[in-house]
Amino acid sequence: MKDSNQFIFQCKRVTENDMEKLILVDEYDQEIGSELKEDCHLGDGILHRAFSVFIFNEKKEVLIQQRSKEKMLWGQFWSNACCSHPYLGESVEDAAHRRTKEELSLETKLNFLFKFQYQEKFRNIGSENELCHVFIGVCNEIPNVDPNEIDDWKYLPIDDLTQSIENNPDEFTPWLRIEWSKITGEYFGQVQRILETN
């Protein structure tokens, strides 16, 4: 019995350790290994797989969140509804659904838009170095946010967010600025079709 309990504990420990690891990828989004989350964000960062979720309501307003001040990178900056990383062996879409529910208590259909690679340094603390998959969804439920992840949230009309980013870019995360430029630019027709059919 003792040996059996030890085996169960070791399996659990490995599983929890894997949850702290991110999927390393090359520029073509091919998996090349894994590394601890913190190590992936130190220095210039190590390229890893990530995702961003944008949530709109029936008024075509977009949900943004203020990141917790406890975040290692870009704490208290405004960003999109949810952004995170898949677990080892987890699909990006499944991870996007999981984190949207965990952080916001929201569940909705998510539509893949595009993926892109970016690298941004935050002061002398660390960097984001990600190949990021971007999804959008439509939901009219009121978020019930995880206070460990989110300090504040609000819905903004599309034009208001665009104007806010133009007027005060330093209040927003770099990935939001990049993604929002694409969403309101080359992907705007696709976004409008998704919003109109939900």
Q: Which residues are catalytic?
A: 83, 130
Region class of 157: left (phi > 0), else alpha (psi between -120 and 50), else beta? beta
Give kind and range of the element (H or E) at residue 43. none
Query: Which residues lie closer than 8 Å to 188 by C-beta, 6 or more apart?
Result: none
- Inter-residue contact 141 to 57 (CB < 8 Å): no
d(CA 62, CA 55): 6
Radius of gyration for the chain, computed over Cα atoms and rounded to the nearest angstrom: 18
Query: Which residues lie closer than 8 Å to 115 by C-beta, 6 or more apart?
Result: 29, 131, 132, 133, 134
Q: Which residues pair with 157 in a beta bridge?
A: 61
